């Protein structure tokens, strides 16, 4: 836990004029940017190596159930099947 609370920092930031707020914002962004860049690079690596779901072509569900009259039991069966398939994929 920090020695200074976020509320205290926000009260101090409110005292800054606009140019100083912009400087503070840029400095804070530079602290976060390397982590964000690393995350984006790892995401791109996973997409390129096929580890990311975006690289997998999934069938579209658009309109599949539009206007369908499904009973509560049918909906539960669909969800149960999807859950079972997901669990099987996790074990593979």
CB 36 within 8 A of CB 44: no
Give the separation between CA 52 and CA 29, rounded to whole angstroms.
27
Q: Give the Cα separation of 72 and 28 in Å (integer).
A: 51
Looking at residue 19, its pLDDT comes to: 94
Which sequence spans correspond to the domains of the chain?
Answer: 1-56
Question: Between vectors from CA 42 to CA 28 and to CA 87, what angle results, nearest 5°?
Answer: 120
- Cβ proximity of 53 and 64 under 8 Å: no
Cα dihedral sign, 91-42-51-55:
positive
17 falls in which pLDDT band (50, 70, 90)? very high
Query: Mind listing the pLDDT tens digit for each residue in 22-40?
Result: 999 999 888 877 788 888 8
pTM over 0.85: no
67-77 pLDDT per residue, tens: 777 788 988 99
């Amino acid at each position: 836990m920090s020695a200074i609370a976020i509320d205290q920092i926000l009260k101090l930031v409110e005292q800054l004029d606009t140019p100083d707020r912009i400087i503070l914002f840029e400095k804070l962004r530079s602290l976060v940017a390397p982590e964000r860049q690393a995350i984006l690079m790892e995401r791109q690596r996973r997409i390129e190596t096929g580890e990311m779901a975006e690289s997998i072509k999934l069938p579209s569900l658009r309109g599949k159930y539009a206007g369908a009259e499904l009973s509560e039991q049918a909906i539960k069966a669909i969800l149960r099947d999807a859950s079972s398939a997901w669990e099987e994929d996790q074990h593979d």
